[in-house]
Amino acid sequence: MDAKSFEDLVARVRADFDTTFTWDYDRDGGGLDRLYEKAKRAQWNVSDDLDWSIDVDPERLIRLQAEESGVPPGFPARSLADIDRSPVASWTDDKWVEFAVHSQCTSLSNFLHGEQGALLVAARLVEAVPWIDAKYYGATQVVDEARHVEAFAKYLDEKMPTTYAINDNLRTLINQVLVDSRWDVVFLGMQVVIEGLALAAFGFMMGTTRDPLLKEMLRYVMADEARHVAFGILSLQKVYEDLSSNELRERQEFAYEACDLMRRRSLNPELWPAFGVSNSEIETMLSNTRSQQKFQHLLFSKIVPNCKKLGLLDHRDGWLRERFQEMQIIQYEDWTTEAEELTAASAVDPAAYADK
Ligand SMILES: [Fe+2]
Ligand SMILES: [Fe+2]
């Protein structure tokens, strides 16, 4: 029996937050109604709908992926080997394969912890949101997120060598989102920033993995996430119409700070020390390699267009547009994201729900 005590295994976040009843049970017949109907029909089961008998050999799959794509194992981090006095210059191909497997473990682990964050936030939204349609829809998201936690936990436990702790920046952002008393900021942080980032990261992993089980699992999860993002956009568009200029500016700042935190997350600080390389050593080098930068930028390809749909980019002389320009991610403002294309059959375009 594991010696860890219960207290070591939990973390508490204290929040002061209104729980809102509504006595208005009328449905508005709009986008949220349709999204709710869709969500009820699109439920799936981790145990029944995925083939867990598939044997997963992570190292073999990484080698296969490298062979088929022509991209060497450990990319984009591997480009660090070419830098002067690089601490990873002497790494063999086997070492890079091992690194790539663990890099995938850190990604999957953060998906897992992030999904738990989404589960808690979704539950909070059900309590806080003042419309019955949004409470109904939010309840389906709670079930979706529980299923996602279950799926990633099972995959890591049964198919991968290890699970890593949550990334500090991701934890900071989830905590900030959970304690904010403005429920629309909870929406903005989780449904637009964190889920938008997750969709891009899921899409990237789905496009690269050679494991049919993981591919299928991500396809299912992404179909759910596309609805969640649509839920965020639909609800926020409604709220932002009534906010003052100053309040909107606060939302711009929140979106920027959340994106900035997430940009620093993708440096993978939980991984390098396990391979004998200090984070300070790696940080300067990593942010200066082009391939790493390109990959990082791609993670924001879903968030930027959604901020635009919400009117956050250009409010107050384009304050957020300027910040995104500095971050070199403004080029995504009109992107139909890769994630939506990948899940075309089940994707939800918020516009299709919002305009009726
Ligand atoms: Fe999720
Ligand atoms: Fe979600």
Q: How far is it, in rounded angstroms, from Cα 299 to Cα 285?
A: 20
Contact indicator for 282, 91 with CB cutoff of 8 Å: no
Domain chopping of the chain, boundaries = 56-354
Kindly give, in sequence order, each residue whose CB lies less than 8 Å from that of residue 94, ignoring residues fewer than 6 positions away: none
CATH of range 56-354; options 3.20.20.110, 1.20.1260.10, 1.10.510.10, 3.40.50.300: 1.20.1260.10
pLDDT at res. 317:
86
For helices 58-69 and 93-128, the axis angle rounded to 10 degrees is 100
pLDDT tens, residue by residue, 49-90? 999 999 999 999 999 999 998 889 988 888 888 887 888 888
Ligand 2 center from residue 81 Cα (angstroms): 36
Ligand 1 center from residue 316 Cα (angstroms): 33
Ligand 2 center from residue 64 Cα (angstroms): 31
Ligand 2 center from residue 137 Cα (angstroms): 12
Q: How wide is the angle at C-alpha 119 spanned by C-alphas 56 and 235, nearest 5°?
A: 125
pLDDT at res. 7:
78
Ligand 1 center from residue 195 Cα (angstroms): 7
CA 6 to chain centroid = 28
pLDDT at res. 67:
93
pLDDT at res. 287:
63
Within 13 Å of residue 188, how many CA atoms lie on the same side as its CB?
Answer: 30
Full-model pTM: 0.88
Q: How far is it, in rounded angstroms, from Cα 196 to Cα 303?
A: 5
Which residues in the chain come in under a pLDDT of 70? 1-3, 265-267, 286-288, 290-292, 337-356
Question: How many other C-beta atoms can be found within 10 angstroms of the C-beta atom of residue 20?
Answer: 13
Contact indicator for 256, 325 with CB cutoff of 8 Å: no
Contact indicator for 96, 74 with CB cutoff of 8 Å: yes
